[in-house]
Chain A
Amino acid sequence: MIVQALIDQGVDTVFGYPGGAVLPIYDEIHQQNAIRHILVRHEQGAVHAAEGYARSTGKPGVVIVTSGPGATNAVTGLTDALMDSIPIIVLTGQVPTFMIGSDAFQEADTVGITRPCTKHNWLVKETDALSGVLHEAFHVATQGRPGPVLVDIPKDVQFATGTYNAPKPSVSHYQPKVKGDMEEITELVAAMEKAKKPIFYTGGGVINSGPAASQLLRELVKATGFPITSTLMGLGCYPASGENWLGMLGMHGLYQANMAMHDCDLMINIGARFDDRITGRIDAFSPKSTKAHIDIDPSSINKVIKTDIPIVGDVGHVLEDILKVWKSRGRKTNSEALAKWWAQIEKWKAIDCLKFKQTGKTIKPQHALVRLEELTKQHDRYICTEVGQHQMWAAQYLGFEDPNRWMTSGGLGTMGYGFPASIGVQMAHPDALVINVAGEASWLMNMQEMGTAVQYRLPVKQFILNNERLGMVRQWQELLHGERYSQSWSEALPDFVKLAEAFRAKGIICSDPADLDDAIMEMINHDGPVIFDCLVEKHENCFPMIPSGKAHNEMLLGEAQTQGVIDSKGSVLV
């Protein structure tokens, strides 16, 4: 019945790990061919792989794990998916209903543990209710603001036979509103017509809304000529090669993007949530602007930043209406003021905040990414990352032309996300070039998934920027904690080439800038999983940077300015 429900929901791939409490489900999986099961090496890997699958396809990812430790190992992935609004359906086994509460073997209060880290969860105690709950789970995970859901299924419910109901047009009371309020939309269009210094500030909501939303956004940006920046989560919704692109904003965002956010007079937030990595100091955040906020989740509005024009609705629907209204009112913008605004932005751009010098015999991490970009941008390419300096550099130096091409742990910042995510992406796109830009420390957190990559012949490329440090931690210790580098170096690292070989995969090591291009080409051309150990400069810092507790216009650009910049109040923020 469970497998039938998954098939009826259009599922073709599930990620999971068997165990006592899910044996009946695995028995069913064994007797069919419609759904492919990917055996991961750790349940956390299963959830991240499903996230990678979901983010690169727009379809929900499905996970099956056993009770107790299987469920608790999935918690990090669930929280990650909740923070980044990724649709995931996790099915967990549970001890039989008559044993629940008896501290049975591998029993955990799964719905209790996962209540705060799922959008919704269910414990199914009657077999007849099972199919309805499973269909409802897909509905809840994908409608409105997407998120992870969990269905806990006791083993006796799995064994029993019951009535199966096919999915039908939703009977659920959960029907989030997708159309924006026309009054507010008209108010926003009026503000856009008058704006002297407007900016689009876009986020993951554009990508979650689907490819049509990205297309509409591109049309709107082109038609109005307004500058556009995006959060880490929204990269790709507007092409990096686009004329109006300012680059990413936020703590490690580009100078022009942050300065434009600070000085703008109309901020149009489309599917972003004023995260603290974006806003910096709240009371100094874009002080002179009128703020419009388009979000499908009413709780995002006025949560952090007071909004003048709130529009609750799905980004795609709202953008369509904005375009319609704006066109019907005569396609007006304040072009004279806009030209001045762009002249100012060009001055900020001229600072060239990402410049660096590749000199000497050591590879700079930025240089490694510039070369990676150059040698892979023509490919059908998907990029995952782990968390830390390499993640920010990847966001800064790689260009994303399309949505669903960039998989990174934004809200939760989960080290160990990228490698399993790359496996999920490769499963969904078997012929694409899937690269996980990693740091050596993050990568080690889920390195057991090498087994999965090799078993399923998934040619994922693990591009490890190895500085033998927890680079971002080290950077903060340098800036904030008197250069006392407490526990932030990677001692006793493995030989990554030998590690790859131990898994019967390919390992490449590169330490000389002169060899870098050839080594990257070797990685791309190898038909199979590759661990690329790129030895980089150990003490490179990630700039630009808005220090904690500072405003957008108080950005640090490089080494010279970094002494004593974060005051005691800022240092309590992370």
Chain B
Amino acid sequence: MSALKIKKGATSHSAYNLRPTFSDVVERHTLAVLVENEPGVLARVIGLFSGRGYNIDSLTVAEVDHTGHLSRITIVTSGTPQVIEQIKAQLGRIVSVHDVHDLTVEGASVERELAMFKVTGTGDKRVEALRLADIFRASVVDSTLESFVFEITGAPDKIDAFADLMRPLGLTDVARTGVAALSRGE
């Protein structure tokens, strides 16, 4: 079963619980879930999270292998180590799920998110927004005399930081894609 492919944790006793005792510390994990691309599969995954009371911080989904009928769902979730292990095991037993990977514990990984920000304003604020966008390597994808739409790609905290800076400069709308993530190396 796919959940069994999760790498062994720190304790020699258990393949599933990565901590020696049930801990109360809430951790944030990024899970990559490879699923059969069929109707209702996203509902199964989301239904699992709502039905069992787990958190979804971010979720992205798209087909990644057309011939193999596979989609990749990237879920950022948070919970105690025990809850995270439960989430992975519960995902693993969904029949349409082929594989579950916890990118947070299975070695290094890269996370990227795309976001668009609409910033309206004139004068100094407008100039400052453009200057900061340049520092953050955000590009302008739409412009009027009183507004910009910036496109920015990066790790979620970079996007958070950019949003914080834009807020006093006239940020009016935000659209974020949610996290896409891959493990590093082979």
Q: Which residues 61-110 of B have a CB within 8 angstroms of A?
A: 82, 85-86, 89-90, 92-96, 98
**Quick check: B16 and A298 within 8 Å, CB to CB?**
yes
With both beta carbons as reference points, the residue of chain A lying nearest to B22 in the complex is identified as A306
Q: A298-B4, A309-B13, A310-B16 are in contact. Are A116 and B40 (CB under 8 A)?
A: no
The distance from the CB of B100 to the nearest CB of chain A, in whole angstroms, is 10
Bound state CA distance, A175 and B95, in angstroms?
10
Q: Which residues 270-308 of A have a CB within 8 angstroms of B?
A: 297-299, 301-303, 306-308
With a cutoff of 8 Å between Cβ atoms, the chain A residues found around residue B44 in the complex are 115
Q: A306-B17, A308-B13, A310-B14 are in contact. Are A298 and B39 (CB under 8 A)?
A: no
Hey, what's the 0/1 contact readout for A410-439 against B, CB within 8 Å counting as 1?
Answer: 000000000000000000000000000000
Q: Which residues 300-350 of A have a CB within 8 angstroms of B?
A: 301-303, 306-310, 312
With a cutoff of 8 Å between Cβ atoms, the chain A residues found around residue B92 in the complex are 298-299
Bound state CA distance, A310 and B12, in angstroms?
11
**Quick check: A303 and B22 within 8 Å, CB to CB?**
no
Bound state CA distance, A307 and B44, in angstroms?
28
**Quick check: B40 and A111 within 8 Å, CB to CB?**
yes
With a cutoff of 8 Å between Cβ atoms, the chain A residues found around residue B3 in the complex are 298-299
User: How many A residues face the partner with a CB closer than 8 A?
Assistant: 29
Q: Which of B39, B51, B82, B93 contacts A123 (CB 8 A)?
A: B39
Q: Which residues 85-116 of A have a CB within 8 angstroms of B?
A: 111-112, 115-116
Q: A303-B86, A310-B16 are in contact. Are A116 and B51 (CB under 8 A)?
A: yes
With a cutoff of 8 Å between Cβ atoms, the chain A residues found around residue B15 in the complex are 181, 310, 312
Q: Which residues 1-46 of B have a CB within 8 angstroms of A?
A: 1, 3-4, 13-17, 21-22, 36, 39-40, 43-44
Taking the complex as formed, is A144 at the interface, i.e. its CB lies under 8 A from any CB of chain B? yes
Bound state CA distance, A115 and B4, in angstroms?
24
Bound state CA distance, A144 and B4, in angstroms?
13
**Quick check: A173 and B82 within 8 Å, CB to CB?**
no
With both beta carbons as reference points, the residue of chain B lying nearest to A143 in the complex is identified as B95
With a cutoff of 8 Å between Cβ atoms, the chain B residues found around residue A115 in the complex are 40, 43-44, 47
With a cutoff of 8 Å between Cβ atoms, the chain B residues found around residue A297 in the complex are 89, 93
Q: A115-B43, A115-B44, A116-B51 are in contact. Are A307 and B14 (CB under 8 A)?
A: yes
Q: Which of B17, B47, B51 contacts A302 (CB 8 A)?
A: B17
Q: Which of A116, A140, A176, A301 contacts B47 (CB 8 A)?
A: A116
Taking the complex as formed, is A120 at the interface, i.e. its CB lies under 8 A from any CB of chain B? yes
**Quick check: B40 and A299 within 8 Å, CB to CB?**
no
Which 10 A-B pairs have CB atoms at the shortest separation, nearest pair first? A299-B89, A120-B95, A298-B89, A302-B17, A298-B3, A299-B90, A176-B1, A174-B95, A302-B16, A299-B93
Residues of A at under 8 Å CB distance from B? Answer: 111-112, 115-116, 119-120, 123, 140, 144-145, 173-177, 181, 187, 297-299, 301-303, 306-310, 312
